Amino acid sequence: MTDLATPPKTYTPTPVRSRFALGNRERNLITKVIAYLVLILGAIVMIVPFFWMVSTSLKDSTSIFILPPEWIPLQPTLKNYEEAWDVAMLPRGFVNSTFIAVTSTIGEVFASMLAGFAFARMRFPGRNALFGILLVTMMIPGVVMLVPSFILFTQLGWVNTWSPLIIPVLFGTPFAVFLSRQYFATLPADLEDAAKVDGANYFQTFLFVFLPLARPIMATLFVLGFIARWNDFIGPLIYLRSTELYPIPLLLARLNSLYEQNWTLLMAGATLALLPILFLFFLLQRYFVESVALTGIKG
Amino acid sequence: MAAPSRGRLNRSETLWGYLFVAAPFLGFMLFGAIPLMGSLILGFTEWDLASEPEFVGMQNWSQALSLHIAALPVEIDEATGEPMYRCGRERVPQSQVGDFTGRIDERTNAPYVCEARYARPGSVLPRGFDEWHQFNLFGQQYIVGAIDPIFWKAMFNTFYLLLAIPISLVIALGFAIAMNQNIVGARLFRTIYYTPVILPIAALALIWLWIFNPTYGLLNYFLGQFGIESSVNWLGNAETVKPALIIMLIWRGLGYQVLIYLAGLQGVPRQLYEAAQIDGANAWQRFRAVTWPSLTPTTFFLVITSMIGTFQIFQEPFIMTEGGPYFESTTMVMVIQQNAFRDVQMGYASAQAWILGFIIIIFTLINFYVSRRWVSYES
């Protein structure tokens, strides 16, 4: 963002303009102060719910009813965390969520990148038509698929297993194919030739030449897919019956219905559920932000 | 001379190419196209999964969509033939309404309010129709009946929640402009704003459930700090449950919109601002003449994607209100989910899903059409 800085010094050759620039500088200062105030206020609004969550989770169940609320608990306790960890079945949930999200996303990313590579770098009859079909399928709203998918998976005997959540994704998703095609299309034109001279087939070319060059898009796709799968709610809600199979979001909903109004416990559960994703977010922030920029292309 | 080798090469390239794109298309056929066709057919059947599906023609569609609007007459007393009024809890003939004006109702300790009494909805609605909504136009009371009033309520609620979009876009644009002022720590702000976007909604819904708590919730506490004593049961009142959900939706989605707007702002040509400045345009004029026009594609993209998301809202009301009170926060996806997976009416749920699907597809088509026009405008 620094490249967008105003270059006032090189921009003030005449007296008229310099008067202008001076006024601008003062005005810029006011603008900046207002901008900071707005942003800080907004940031407070964004953070306070999380702060409130953590604060509540550290209190015992009577001190949450003290008004005005204690923002920083006077006698913090970890008791709620111990309880939530067990009654919400969170350890189990983390294993389940991680397994579902990681396996499905690895398959999704690989299959989608392979197809994206073919669409961007290879010539075969009907290529553009097939790509067009793929774009059209992106338009199908997910809600239309709820009922028919359920019927299909019931007939396949997949209900109350993770298969409906993992297997369809392994084939690749239109959006991921689209994003990887766009990325591969930007790579230099003569990359294939060297591989061809070495006698590599197309799969080897993809695997050893293009895939290593496509790490940024790979990371972005992985982040996008992982978050979508980890946060999925309606899929697990429809297909899973046994609580041992539940991923984290479903376990939180279950915790809420079992311990309604038990705010300290619920907030401890929510905090625990958010921590790994938050950790991942701060670690891989760059790819999260890039993924947003990419989804912006979609329109 | 090179033709044969090229031909061989192409054949192998074609084969490999088809192989590489096979997976997404196979997946789409198996888990997309075939079920999709099936669901369209299913919309014309009645099926509880246990017995055989039964073809019922348009019944599901008319059950979901049928509306009947009728004028609701004032209730006439059968004995006297006089129009009846309601004053407080009393049922009063028109001639005696004068006696009540100005008198204090002992039940409420407030002066009596007299209103016309209307006939029972059942007397004007056809069989099978129930009341969805009443309204008054030029002094005449009307009633809207539907075969499935809950579906219409859900449709109304879902469209109501779309109100979140213009509000949050205005706020997001403000934050994006502020963030674009060459700010130190812009990255930190960006991260903070974006955080709720990537977190599981289930957890966020629990937090907001607690914030909206009538007695100990943060929202009422804050309102109290600003001198507004409030004990509003945000999620328990017909009037406040949708605004409350909108507040949460805005908070959750803001970061995404800020980020997209920021990208849009950084694409606005710098020279345009400089030209406007030299012309003596003030900040508002620069916004109107430069920023806003340059951002129209971004705004349009955000409007449509947010609409597609909002039309399919399910989790927040499912966890926070279960659709209540009195179906005031039931959304279309909730109705579909209940019909399909609780009441096992697969045919009816399919028809409803397609109705929602058509609404969404229409908006998506508008998006594709208009964004294409925008791209060609710029080049």
**CB pair distance less than 8 Å for B23 and A171:** yes
Cβ contact B356:B307 at 8 Å: no
Distance CA A136, CA A114 (A): 19
- ipTM attached to this prediction: 0.85
Q: Which runs of consecutive H residues, i.e. helices, occur in chain B?
A: 3-28, 34-42, 59-65, 97-100, 121-124, 149-161, 164-179, 186-198, 201-211, 218-225, 241-266, 270-278, 283-286, 292-311, 315-320, 332-341, 346-378
**CB pair distance less than 8 Å for B20 and A281:** no
Q: What is the pLDDT of residues A82-107, one digit of tens each?
A: 998 988 899 999 999 999 999 999 99
What dihedral do alpha carbons A235, A240, A245, A246 form, nearest 10°? 50
Question: Does A16 have pLDDT greater than 50?
Answer: no
Interface of A with B in 128-187 (CB under 8 A): 130, 133-134, 137, 139-152, 154, 168, 170-174, 177
Only one residue has tokens 């920029």, namely: A293
**CB pair distance less than 8 Å for B182 and A273:** no
Give me A27's structure tokens: 């005005």
In angstroms, what CA-CA distances link A145 with A89, A236, B333?
Answer: 30, 14, 12
Number of neighbours of residue B52 by Cβ within 10 angstroms: 7
Distance CA B10, CA B14 (A): 6
Interface of A with B in 180-209 (CB under 8 A): 201-203, 206
Query: b/e string for A179-193 if b means 16 or more Cβ within 10 A?
Result: bbbebbeebeeeebe
Identify the closest residue of chain B to A167 by CA–CA distance: B27
Q: Which of A244-253, B133-142, B268-277 has the highest mean pLDDT?
A: A244-253
Break chain B into its structural domains and give their ranges: 67-147, 153-378
What is the DSSP annotation of A204-219?
Answer: HIIIIIIHHHTHHHHH
Distance CA A92, CA A250 (A): 12
| Radius of gyration of chain A from its Cα atoms, rounded to whole angstroms | 26
| Closest approach of B335 to chain A, Cα-based (Å) | 11
**CB pair distance less than 8 Å for B356 and A144:** yes
Distance CA B211, CA A48 (A): 10
Kindly list the residues from chain A whose CB atom is less than 8 angstroms away from the CB atom of residue B35: 145, 148-149, 151-152
| CATH superfamily to which B153-378 belongs | MetI-like (1.10.3720.10)
**CB pair distance less than 8 Å for B31 and A152:** yes
Distance CA A155, CA B146 (A): 35
Nearest to A130 among B21, B221, B270 (CB): B21
Distance CA B67, CA B149 (A): 9
Residue A298 has what pLDDT?
Answer: 39
Cβ contact B358:B271 at 8 Å: no
Find, among A296, A229, A173, the residue nearest to B304 by Cα: A296
Find, among A88, A83, A108, the residue nearest to A172 by Cα: A108
Residue A9 has what pLDDT?
Answer: 47
Identify the closest residue of chain B to A297 by CA–CA distance: B301
Residue B93 has what pLDDT?
Answer: 84
Q: What is the pLDDT of residues B10-59, one digit of tens each?
A: 788 888 899 999 999 998 888 888 888 888 899 999 898 888 888 998 98
Kindly list the residues from chain A whose CB atom is less than 8 angstroms away from the CB atom of residue B254: 46
Q: Which of A277-281, B97-101, B366-370 has the highest mean pLDDT?
A: A277-281
Question: Does A7 have pLDDT greater than 50?
Answer: no
Question: Does A108 have pLDDT greater than 90?
Answer: yes
Who contacts B362 (Cβ-Cβ below 8 Å, separation ≥6)?
A: none
**CB pair distance less than 8 Å for A114 and B193:** no
Identify the closest residue of chain B to A132 by CA–CA distance: B25
The CATH number assigned to the domain with range A81-295 reads: 1.10.3720.10
Only one residue has tokens 């806003």, namely: B292
Give me A102's structure tokens: 């990681």
A57 reaches B (C-beta below 8 A) = no
The CB-based long-range contact list for A23-29 (8 Å cut-off, 24+ gap) reads A24/B277, A27/B283, A28/B181
Band the pLDDT of B373: cuts 50, 70, 90. Answer: low
**CB pair distance less than 8 Å for B207 and A267:** yes
Nearest to A67 among B221, B361, B364 (CB): B221
Band the pLDDT of A295: cuts 50, 70, 90. Answer: low
Break chain A into its structural domains and give their ranges: 2-57, 81-295
Kindly list the residues from chain A whose CB atom is less than 8 angstroms away from the CB atom of residue B202: 233, 248-250, 252-253, 273
The greatest distance separating any two alpha carbons of chain B, rounded to the nearest whole angstrom, comes to 109
Give me A168's structure tokens: 């369809």
Distance CA B353, CA A144 (A): 5
Question: Does B77 have pLDDT greater than 70?
Answer: yes
Give me B117's structure tokens: 């009494």
Whole-model pTM: value is 0.86
Only one residue has tokens 């056929």, namely: B29
| Radius of gyration of chain B from its Cα atoms, rounded to whole angstroms | 28
